Amino acid sequence: MSSLTSQHLAEKERASFFSILTSGSAVGTLFTGTFGSYLLDYYGWPTVFYVIGMSVKYVEIQDY
């Protein structure tokens, strides 16, 4: 992915693109862990899978 995007992005845009791309993974992990722990404490483990799974599916549908 790095080589493909490097070919299609201007040199000035590469650094910000890759920083946003890699920080998204960390932010997603932080959000999922925090929100998942809250859901687990108050609603049980099946709710964690349903809510986070539906959120991921919603994002996939929006991107399509």
DSSP H/E element including 14 = helix 11-43
Q: How many domains does the chain have?
A: 1
Q: Which has the closest alpha carbon to 14: 26, 24, 30, 2?
A: 2
pLDDT band (50, 70, 90) for residue 1: low
Residue 33 belongs to domain spanning: 2-63
Q: CA triplet 2, 6, 8: central angle to 5 degrees? A: 125
Q: Which has the closest alpha carbon to 38: 46, 48, 28?
A: 48
pLDDT band (50, 70, 90) for residue 21: confident
pTM: 0.60
